Amino acid sequence: MGPHEKKPTNWRAWIVGVLIALVIVVCLQNSQSVSVEVLFASFDAPLIIVLAAFTLIGMLIGYIGPVWRRHRREEKRAGQDLEKRS
């Protein structure tokens, strides 16, 4: 790279960083205790814990969903390739 060439901006990293900062700010500003009902269970917990837990659950779903779809798609292609060979 020459002295006048710019590195491309990594927008994905910036967006993830801003979203993480936003989640931290919202969690820290909501520290009161709340009652949470999930199916048949009911419990009291600090809102910061509830927000953090559901944020992590959402992140996990957002990660596993595409991985699972990609895996299924690859299995389907492998099955079609096997059928073509027969």
Amino acid code (one letter) for 41: A
- Concatenating the DSSP letter of every residue in 10-79 gives -HHHHHHHHHHHHHHHHHHH--SEEEEEETTEEEEEEHHHHHHHHHHHHHHHHHHHHHHHHHHHHHHHHH
Q: What is the pLDDT of residues 58-80, one digit of tens each?
A: 889 988 888 888 877 877 777 77
Q: What are phi and psi of 41, to 5 degrees?
A: -100, 145
Structure tokens at 54: 């559901």
Q: What is the pLDDT of residues 19-58, one digit of tens each?
A: 889 878 877 787 788 898 888 889 898 888 888 888 889 8
- β-bridge mates for residue 29, sequence order: none
